[in-house]
C-alpha cells in the first residue's frame, strides 16, 4: 500500500515543472485541480485493477520522467495535406505547421484554442470523459501542455484532410525519460464534415511516454472520420484515449492502427446520445518484438435507433501480445439498437499471446446484438495451396497475413492511409504482384 | 422430443389458471432438528467436526480453511447486487434430530418421506423402478442412501461424505481439495471450514457405473446455510453420470448456499454431472430467495479423460456459479451446457472456465440465457490456453433471449491464448422472440403461452438433449413454470 502511495507521490513530484498551458484561465485551473485531487486518490492503475489485468506497467513505472520544454527537431516527412499541425514532444511547432482558418472552421493548437473565447472550450474540455477515469486520464487533464483544437461551425466542411503529427524524442540526459501529455479537442456543430489523421511517431529506439487524449463532440448530423496511426518508437510507451459524444444522426468513424511502441494502451469510448447515431470502430494491431498492445473500447447505446459496428484485428508475431476488451452497453429503453463487434487474432509465433474480452451488457429487449472473437493461426490448407502454385512459404504466409489485415484496411476510406498500410504490411511480394498485374 | 413438446403444449392449456401459482416446493417440514445457534468462530468449526465425530485430519483441515477464510475478502466483481451478507447471522449446522441407523424405508420418518414425495423424488419403492439411486441430503445430513448394495457389488462407493471420512479416509485425504484448494475463493474457503455433508463417489478402474447416481438437496431450517461438499473420483476408464437437484422452502429472508463440487477423472475416465437447480427464487418483488454461491470444478487428470457439466438454473435469487474444467491430460475433453433463467428480480452470473493444459485438448461451451421481468442474466467465462497446450480447440456459443423491456442480458467472455496452434471461436447473440415465429405458431392454433414455451424449449434444446431423460422432462416443465406470467 505504502509503496503505491510513494510511487504516486513521486509521479506528482516529477510533474512539478510541467509546462502546462492556459494557467490564467480560471475554468481550466479548476478542472486541473479537480483532476489532480482525483489522481491523488486513485493513483496509477496496476494489474490488480480489472481493466489493467493483462497489462503490466512495471517497466513504465520504473522510469524517472521529465518534461521536455520544446525541441528543435525538424520534421522531414512531406505533408499529405495543406493543413498540418506538428507537435514536438507535445509542444506546438508553429514554424513547421500550416494552420487553417476559413469560414467557420478553426484549426489551431490547444493554447490558442483555450484563449479564443469564441470557441467556448470550457463547455467541451473534459466533457466527454467518463466519471470513472484511470490515473493517466486524470494526469492528462491536470498537466496537458499541447494538442490540437478543431472547431467546425454549423454547416461547414473541411475541404482537405486535417493532418496532426505528434513527434516525440528521447531526453538528452539518459537517466531521464521524456514525458508528454497532449489533449486534443474536436468540436463539430450540426451538419459538418471532416477527416482527421492523427499520426504518432518517434525516432526509433528512443524511450518516451506519450499520454494523449482526443475528445470528439459530434453535433447533429456531423460526419467525422478520425484516424489514429501510431508508429511510435519500438521502445516507447503510448497511453491514448479517444472519447466521443454523438448527437442525433451523427456518424463517427474511429480508426485505430497500432504499429509501433513497446507498450500501447488505448481507451476508445463512445456515447450515442441521439437517435439515428452510428459509430464505426476499426482497429488493426501488428505486433512484433516484445510489443504489448492493449485496446479497450466501449460503445454506450443510450437512446433508441442507433447502430454500432466494430472490427478489431490483431496480428501477433515474435513475443508480442495483444489485449482486446470491447464492451457494448445497451441502456434500458435503447430499443431497436443494432450492434456488432468482431475481434480476430492471428498468432504467427509460438511466443505470442492474445487475450480477448468481448462483452455485451444489454438492458433492452428489442435489439440485435452480436459479438464474435476468434484466435487462430494461418490456415495450413491455404498455405499449402499457395505453395503448390509455386509461391515460397515465406511469401505465402505474408500474403495470407496481408489478406487478414486487409479486411480492416479495406474499410478505411482515406486513400493515403490505405496505401501506407498496404505497403507496410503487404511487403515486397505484393509489389511484385502489382507489377505483374 | 416431439412427444415431450406436445405434452408440454397440452399442459400449457391450464397455464393461464396457474399464472398466480406460487413456488411449488415452498413448504416447511416440521421435524425437530438439531440446529446450532447462529454465528461462526473457531469453536463452531470444532463443534461441527465434533458432532460428526470426525477424525483429527478433518478438524485440522477445517481449521486451516477457517483461518484462511478470515483473512479473505468477499468478492465483488460479479454483475450482481445484493445487501451484504452477515456471516454471523447464519447457523452453520442443522440436522434432523436423533439420526437412527436405517435398514429399510419404513424406518425413515414418515414426515420426511412425505416431503420427498411432495417433491416427487424417486425414493419410494415404486420409483425405484426408475433405477435411480438417491443420496438425499436433508439440510445437512444424508438421510439415507438407496441402492448402495447394488452399487457396492459393482465396486462403486456412493455414500455421504461424512461417512466416507470414516470408511475411506485415505481416499478423502488424497482427493479432498485437490481440485478446489481451500484458499481458492471466499466461498470455497467458507465451505471447507463448515461443510456439513454431501456426496462421495468413487468409481474404480474400468467400471461403468450401473446406474445414474442422484442427490437431492433441500434447505429446510430457517437461517441455515447449506454447505454441502461433493467429491467424485473416476479411476482409469471408469464412467459415471451424476444428477443433482435442489429446492428450498419459501421464506422472506435470504438464505445462503455455498457448495463445493470436485470431480477427478483419471486416464480414459468420463464424468457427466447434471444439475437442475430450483432453489426458491424469491417473490416478484425480490424478497427472500436463496443466494447460491457455488464452486464447481473438474480435473481431467489423465489422458483421454472427459468431464461434462450440464446445468439448468431456474431458481435462486442470486446465482454465482462457474463450473470449470481443467484439461490437464492430453486429448482430454471438457464440456459445459447451461440454461440459466432469471425472472422477476432474479440475478444470475454464471458461466464456465476451460483451462487447456494438455495437448490436443478440446472444449465446448453452449450457454443459453433467458431473462424475463426484471431478471439480470450474465454469462461470464474464461477459455485459457497455456503455452504447452498444442492444438487446443474451443467452441463457445452464448445466446441470450430477452422477454420484456426491463430485463438484462450480459456476456463477459475472457479468452487468453498463449499457444499459436490453438483454435478458438466465440460467438454470442442477443435477441427477443421474433414476432414472426410467435405469429406462425399462433396461427397454427397454439396460445401465446404455449407458443412462447415451445420457442423457449427449442432455444434450449441443445442443452436439454444433454440431460438424462427424466431430468430433461423435468427441466422443460420447470422452465414453463418459471416463465409463467412472463408473456403478457
Is the minimum CB–CB distance between A367 and chain B shorter than 8 Å? yes
- Confidence at B11, pLDDT banded by 50, 70, 90: very low
In whole angstroms, what is the distance from residue A236 CA to residue A60 CA? 9
In whole angstroms, what is the distance from residue A361 CA to residue A332 CA? 10
B207: CB partners within 8 A, 6+ apart: B154, B155, B156, B235, B238, B239
In whole angstroms, what is the distance from residue B279 CA to residue B247 CA? 4
- Confidence at B125, pLDDT banded by 50, 70, 90: very low
| Minimal C-alpha gap between B342 and chain A (Å) | 13
- Any bridge partners for residue A279, and if so which? A252, A308
Q: Which residues of B152-171 are buried (b: 16+ CB within 10 A; e: fewer)?
A: eeeebbbbbbbebbeebeeb
Asked if the Cβ–Cβ distance from B413 to A366 is below 8 Å, we say no
Is the minimum CB–CB distance between A366 and chain B shorter than 8 Å? yes
Average pLDDT on B15-35 reads 53
pLDDT tens-digit series, residues A101-120: 778 899 999 999 988 888 89
Average pLDDT on B118-135 reads 47
What parts of chain A have a pLDDT lower than 70? 1-4, 70-81, 100, 427-437
Q: Which three cell numbers mark A186?
A: 474536436
**Comparing B37 with B56, which gets the higher pLDDT?**
B56
Q: What is the pLDDT of residue B14?
A: 42
**Comparing A201 with B8, which gets the higher pLDDT?**
A201
| Minimal C-alpha gap between B79 and chain A (Å) | 10
Q: What is the pLDDT of residue A71?
A: 59
Q: What is the pLDDT of residue A74?
A: 64
Q: What is the pLDDT of residue A171?
A: 85
| Minimal C-alpha gap between A356 and chain B (Å) | 5
Candidates A287, A350, A373: best to mutate against B (most CBs of B within 10 A) is A373
Nearest-CB residue to B415 (from A332, A348, A373): A373
| Minimal C-alpha gap between A57 and chain B (Å) | 19
In whole angstroms, what is the distance from residue A88 CA to residue A70 CA? 7
- Confidence at B120, pLDDT banded by 50, 70, 90: low
Q: Which residues of A30-45 are buried (b: 16+ CB within 10 A; e: fewer)?
A: ebbeebbebbeebbbb
- Confidence at B27, pLDDT banded by 50, 70, 90: low
Asked if the Cβ–Cβ distance from A355 to B421 is below 8 Å, we say no
| Minimal C-alpha gap between A386 and chain B (Å) | 20
Q: What is the pLDDT of residue A265?
A: 96
pLDDT tens-digit series, residues B175-196: 999 999 988 999 999 999 988 7
Q: Which residues of B touch A358 (CB under 8 A)?
A: 411, 413, 426, 428
HSE-up (13 A, CA, CB side) for residue A34: 10
Q: What is the pLDDT of residue B288?
A: 80
Average pLDDT on B82-107 reads 65
Considering only CA atoms, which of B165, B144, B168 is closest in space to residue B156? B168
B440: CB partners within 8 A, 6+ apart: none
Asked if the Cβ–Cβ distance from A359 to B412 is below 8 Å, we say yes
**Which DSSP symbol is given to B13?**
G
Q: What sign for the dihedral angle of Cα A322, A320, A314, B324?
A: negative
Q: Which residue of chain A is at minimal alpha-carbon distance from B415? A: A356
Asked if the Cβ–Cβ distance from B422 to A350 is below 8 Å, we say no
In whole angstroms, what is the distance from residue B301 CA to residue A119 CA? 66
Is the minimum CB–CB distance between A337 and chain B shorter than 8 Å? no
| Minimal C-alpha gap between A326 and chain B (Å) | 10
Average pLDDT on B429-437 reads 85
For chain B, give the percent of residues with pLDDT over 90.
35
Longest dimension (CA), chain B: 68
- Asked if B42 contacts B69 with a C-beta cutoff of 8 angstroms, the reply is no
On the question of pLDDT at B246 being above 90, the answer is no
| Minimal C-alpha gap between B76 and chain A (Å) | 11
Average pLDDT on B247-252 reads 60
On the question of pLDDT at B86 being above 50, the answer is yes
Q: Which residues of B touch A350 (CB under 8 A)?
A: 419-420
Q: What is the pLDDT of residue B405?
A: 83
Asked if the Cβ–Cβ distance from A372 to B402 is below 8 Å, we say no
Asked if the Cβ–Cβ distance from A373 to B426 is below 8 Å, we say yes
Can you say how many angstroms the Cα of residue A383 is from the centroid of all Cα atoms in its chain? 33
Asked if the Cβ–Cβ distance from B415 to A377 is below 8 Å, we say no
- Any bridge partners for residue A152, and if so which? A105, A188
Asked if the Cβ–Cβ distance from B414 to A355 is below 8 Å, we say yes
Q: Could you tell me the CA-to-CA distances from A406 to A232, A269, A424 in Å, in that order? A: 22, 24, 12
Q: Which residues of B touch A54 (CB under 8 A)?
A: 416
pLDDT tens-digit series, residues B153-174: 888 888 888 888 899 999 999 9
Q: Which residues of B touch A355 (CB under 8 A)?
A: 414-417
- Any bridge partners for residue B368, and if so which? B339, B399
Is the minimum CB–CB distance between A370 and chain B shorter than 8 Å? yes
For chain B, give the percent of residues with pLDDT over 70.
77
Nearest-CB residue to A362 (from B409, B414, B426): B409
In whole angstroms, what is the distance from residue B24 CA to residue A111 CA? 70
Nearest-CB residue to B415 (from A50, A356, A370): A356
Residues of chain B with a CB closer than 8 angstroms to some CB in chain A = 77, 79, 385, 400, 402-432
A359: CB partners within 8 A, 6+ apart: A325, A326, A327, A328, A371, B410, B411, B412, B413
Asked if the Cβ–Cβ distance from A347 to B422 is below 8 Å, we say yes
**Comparing A239 with B33, which gets the higher pLDDT?**
A239
B233: CB partners within 8 A, 6+ apart: B171, B175, B201, B202, B203, B263, B264, B266
Nearest-CB residue to A360 (from B411, B417, B425): B411
In whole angstroms, what is the distance from residue B41 CA to residue B63 CA? 10
Q: Which residue of chain B is at minimal alpha-carbon distance from A376? A: B423
Is the minimum CB–CB distance between A372 and chain B shorter than 8 Å? yes
Asked if the Cβ–Cβ distance from B420 to A373 is below 8 Å, we say no
On the question of pLDDT at B16 being above 70, the answer is no
In whole angstroms, what is the distance from residue A32 CA to residue A15 CA? 13
Is the minimum CB–CB distance between A358 and chain B shorter than 8 Å? yes
ipTM value for the complex:
0.81
Across the A:B interface, residue pairs with CB atoms under 8 Å apart total: 113
This prediction has a pTM of 0.83
Amino acid at each position: 500500500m505504502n509503496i503505491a502511495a510513494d510511487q504516486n507521490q513521486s509521479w506528482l513530484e516529477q510533474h512539478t515543472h510541467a509546462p502546462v498551458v492556459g494557467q490564467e484561465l480560471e475554468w481550466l485551473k479548476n478542472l486541473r485541480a479537480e483532476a489532480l485531487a482525483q489522481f491523488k486518490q486513485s493513483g496509477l492503475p496496476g494489474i490488480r485493477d480489472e481493466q489493467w489485468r493483462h497489462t503490466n506497467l512495471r517497466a513504465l513505472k520504473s522510469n524517472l520522467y521529465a518534461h521536455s520544454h520544446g525541441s528543435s527537431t525538424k520534421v522531414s516527412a512531406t505533408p499529405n495535406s495543406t493543413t498540418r499541425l506538428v507537435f514536438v514532444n507535445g509542444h506546438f511547432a508553429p514554424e513547421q505547421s500550416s494552420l487553417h482558418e476559413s469560414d467557420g472552421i478553426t484549426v489551431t493548437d490547444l493554447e490558442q484554442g483555450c484563449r479564443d473565447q469564441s470557441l467556448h472550450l470550457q463547455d467541451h474540455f473534459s466533457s466527454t470523459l467518463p466519471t470513472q477515469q484511470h490515473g493517466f486520464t486524470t494526469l492528462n487533464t491536470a498537466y496537458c501542455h499541447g494538442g490540437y483544437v478543431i472547431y467546425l461551425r454549423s454547416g461547414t466542411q473541411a475541404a482537405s484532410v486535417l493532418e496532426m503529427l505528434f513527434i516525440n524524442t528521447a531526453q538528452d540526459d539518459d537517466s531521464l525519460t521524456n514525458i508528454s501529455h497532449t489533449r486534443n479537442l474536436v468540436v463539430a456543430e450540426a451538419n459538418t464534415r471532416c477527416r482527421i489523421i492523427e499520426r504518432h511517431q518517434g525516432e526509433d529506439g528512443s524511450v518516451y511516454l506519450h499520454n494523449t487524449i482526443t475528445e470528439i463532440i459530434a453535433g447533429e448530423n456531423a460526419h467525422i472520420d478520425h484516424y489514429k496511426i501510431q508508429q511510435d518508437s519500438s521502445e516507447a510507451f503510448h497511453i491514448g484515449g479517444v472519447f466521443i459524444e454523438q448527437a442525433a444522426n451523427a456518424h463517427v468513424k474511429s480508426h485505430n492502427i497500432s504499429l509501433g511502441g513497446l507498450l500501447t494502451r488505448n481507451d476508445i469510448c463512445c456515447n450515442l446520445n441521439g437517435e439515428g447515431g452510428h459509430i464505426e470502430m476499426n482497429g488493426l494491431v501488428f505486433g512484433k518484438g516484445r510489443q504489448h498492445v492493449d485496446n479497450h473500447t466501449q460503445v454506450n447505446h443510450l437512446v433508441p435507433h442507433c447502430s454500432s459496428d466494430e472490427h478489431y484485428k490483431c496480428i501477433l508475431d515474435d513475443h508480442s501480445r495483444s489485449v482486446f476488451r470491447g464492451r457494448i452497453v445497451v441502456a434500458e429503453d435503447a430499443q431497436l439498437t443494432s450492434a456488432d463487434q468482431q475481434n480476430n487474432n492471428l498468432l504467427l509465433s509460438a511466443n505470442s499471446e492474445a487475450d480477448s474480452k468481448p462483452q455485451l451488457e444489454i438492458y433492452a429487449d428489442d435489439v440485435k446484438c452480436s459479438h464474435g472473437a476468434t484466435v487462430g493461426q494461418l490456415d495450413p490448407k491455404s498455405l499449402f495451396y499457395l505453395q503448390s502454385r509455386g509461391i515460397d512459404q515465406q511469401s505465402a504466409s505474408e500474403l495470407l497475413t496481408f489478406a487478414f489485415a486487409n479486411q480492416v484496411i479495406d474499410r478505411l476510406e482515406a486513400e493515403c492511409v490505405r496505401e501506407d498500410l498496404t505497403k507496410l504490411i503487404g511487403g515486397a511480394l505484393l509489389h511484385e504482384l502489382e507489377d505483374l498485374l | 422430443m416431439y412427444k415431450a413438446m406436445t405434452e408440454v403444449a397440452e399442459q400449457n392449456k391450464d397455464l393461464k389458471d396457474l399464472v398466480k401459482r406460487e413456488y411449488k416446493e415452498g413448504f416447511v417440514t416440521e421435524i425437530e432438528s438439531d440446529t446450532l445457534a447462529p454465528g461462526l468462530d473457531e469453536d463452531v468449526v470444532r463443534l461441527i467436526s465434533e458432532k460428526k465425530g470426525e477424525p483429527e485430519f478433518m478438524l485440522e483441515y477445517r481449521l486451516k480453511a477457517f483461518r484462511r477464510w478470515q483473512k479473505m475478502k468477499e468478492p465483488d466483481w460479479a454483475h450482481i447486487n445484493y445487501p451484504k451478507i452477515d456471516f454471523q447471522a447464519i447457523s452453520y449446522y442443522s440436522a434432523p434430530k436423533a439420526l437412527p441407523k436405517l435398514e429399510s424405508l419404513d424406518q425413515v420418518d414418515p414426515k420426511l418421506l412425505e416431503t420427498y414425495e411432495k417433491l416427487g423424488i424417486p425414493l419410494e419403492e415404486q420409483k425405484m423402478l426408475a433405477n435411480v439411486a438417491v443420496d438425499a441430503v436433508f439440510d445437512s445430513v444424508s438421510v439415507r442412501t438407496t441402492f448402495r448394495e447394488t452399487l457396492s457389488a459393482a465396486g462403486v462407493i456412493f455414500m455421504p461424505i461424512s461417512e466416507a471420512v470414516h470408511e475411506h479416509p485415505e481416499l478423502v485425504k488424497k482427493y479432498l481439495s485437490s481440485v478446489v484448494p481451500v484458499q481458492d475463493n471466499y466461498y470455497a474457503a467458507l465451505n471447507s471450514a463448515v461443510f456439513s455433508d454431501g456426496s462421495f463417489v468413487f468409481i474404480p478402474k474400468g467400471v461403468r457405473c450401473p446406474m445414474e447416481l442422484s442427490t437431492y438437496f433441500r434447505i429446510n431450517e430457517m437461517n441455515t446455510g447449506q454447505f454441502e461438499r461433493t467429491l467424485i473420483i473416476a479411476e482409469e476408464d471408469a464412467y459415471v453420470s451424476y444428477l443433482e437437484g435442489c429446492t428450498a422452502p419459501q421464506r422472506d429472508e435470504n438464505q445462503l448456499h455455498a457448495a463445493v463440487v470436485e470431480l477427478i477423472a483419471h486416464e480414459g475416465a468420463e464424468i457427466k454431472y447434471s444439475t437442475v437447480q430450483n432453489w426458491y427464487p424469491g417473490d416478484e418483488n425480490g424478497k427472500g430467495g436463496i443466494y447460491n454461491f457455488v464452486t464447481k470444478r473438474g480435473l481431467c487428470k489423465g489422458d483421454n479423460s472427459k468431464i461434462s457439466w450440464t446445468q439448468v438454473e431456474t431458481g435462486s435469487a442470486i446465482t454465482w456459479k462457474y463450473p470449470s474444467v481443467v484439461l490437464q491430460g492430453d486429448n482430454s475433453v471438457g464440456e459445459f451446457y447451461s440454461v440459466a433463467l432469471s425472472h422477476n428480480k432474479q440475478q444470475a452470473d454464471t458461466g464456465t472456465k476451460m483451462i487447456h493444459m494438455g495437448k490436443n485438448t478440446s472444449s465446448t461451451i453452449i450457454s443459453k440465457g433467458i431473462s424475463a421481468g426484471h431478471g439480470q442474466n450474465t454469462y461470464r467465462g474464461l477459455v485459457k490456453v497455456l503455452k504447452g497446450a498444442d492444438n487446443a480447440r474451443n467452441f463457445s456459443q452464448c445466446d441470450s433471449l430477452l422477454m420484456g423491456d426491463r430485463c438484462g442480458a450480459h456476456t463477459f467472455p475472457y479468452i487468453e491464448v498463449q499457444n499459436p496452434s490453438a483454435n478458438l471461436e466465440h460467438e454470442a447473440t442477443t435477441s427477443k422472440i421474433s414476432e414472426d415465429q410467435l405469429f406462425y405458431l399462433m396461427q397454427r392454433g397454439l396460445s401465446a403461452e404455449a407458443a412462447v414455451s415451445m420457442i423457449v424449449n427449442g432455444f434450449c434444446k441443445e442443452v436439454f438433449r444433454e440431460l438424462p431423460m427424466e431430468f430433461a422432462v423435468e427441466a422443460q416443465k420447470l422452465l414453463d413454470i418459471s416463465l409463467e406470467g412472463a408473456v403478457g
